Amino acid sequence: MAADPARITSRILIETESVLFNPNEPFVFTSGRISPVYIDCRRLISFPRARAKLMDMGADLIEEAIGFESLDVIAGGETAGIPFSAWIADRLMLPMCYVRKQPKGFGRNARIEGTLKEGDRVLLVEDLATDGGSKISFVDGLREAGAECGHTFVIFHYGILPQGIRDLEGHGVKLHALATWWDVIACAEEEDYFNKDDLPKVRAFLEDPDGWAEQNAHKIKKPE
């Protein structure tokens, strides 16, 4: 019986210490949301064996979910998505480009770096997805350049903010991920990654992220 990719991904995230927990000083996402937990996928670039396994599973997922001849280009989102998009492109034997958050403001003033042709079918690759907001911006950049982009792949999806999925689907984009927080928390429980006092705090956030944020907003340090 083949091993579960979500379970393997969760184990890798835990083993590489990419799962962070700090309920007393919550993490603040780009969107402004706060969370006691954070997944740092950028750490994975420093673990060759772990990242190779993740990219192999990612390529298999993409081929199964999207198709073997349904993509023309793999695009990374600046900056965290760039290395992962390069590794995925290599496995799928496809060209790679990357899309900037904003035009660079000089030279060609390009937002897309690399070669992208009108009508190219593009897969956007990033490290993770929380509420999907940055994905929509990158997809818009690719579409403005003439590409077709209806899929995005991430290693990790928070899986607790359904509105983000609805926003992506409303934008004509399907999200593909190797694992979610529910996979990681199940693995963490099996391996006693969180202590008995911390685990209920993590679950409280996962089950009601907005309620948790409202109750813990006072913990965010104000800029001096």
Degrees, nearest 5: CA angle 11-13-16: 105
**Per-residue pLDDT at 104:** 66
Q: What is the pLDDT of residues 120-148, one digit of tens each?
A: 999 999 999 987 788 999 999 999 999 99
Amino acid at 101: K
40 is written with which tokens?
């740092």
What pLDDT, on the 0 to 100 scale, is given for residue 24?
82
136-142 long-range contacts, Cβ below 8 Å, gap at least 24? Answer: 136/167, 136/168, 136/171, 136/173, 137/101, 138/75, 138/77, 138/81, 138/99, 138/101, 139/171, 139/173, 141/99, 141/100, 141/111, 141/112, 142/75, 142/99, 142/112, 142/116
- pLDDT score, position 1: 34
Residue 123 covered by a domain: yes
The total of other beta-carbon atoms located within 10 Å of residue 198's CB is: 16
* Number of structural domains found in the chain: 1
What pTM does this model have? Answer: 0.91
Strand partners, 73: 122
pLDDT digits (tens, 9 = 90+) for 11-34: 999 999 999 888 888 898 877 889
CATH of the domain at 89: 3.40.50.2020
pLDDT for residue 64? 97
Residue 74 resides in a domain: yes
Q: 31 in a domain, yes or no?
A: yes
Strand ranges for 37-161 from DSSP E: 37-39, 73-77, 96-99, 112-113, 121-129, 148-157
Tokens of 85: 């998009």
Q: Is residue 224 part of a domain?
A: no
> Residue 204 in contact with residue 212, Cβ under 8 Å?
yes
Stretches where the chain sits below pLDDT 50 are 1, 107
Residue 202: per-residue pLDDT: 86
Segments forming the whole domain that contains residue 118 = 5-219
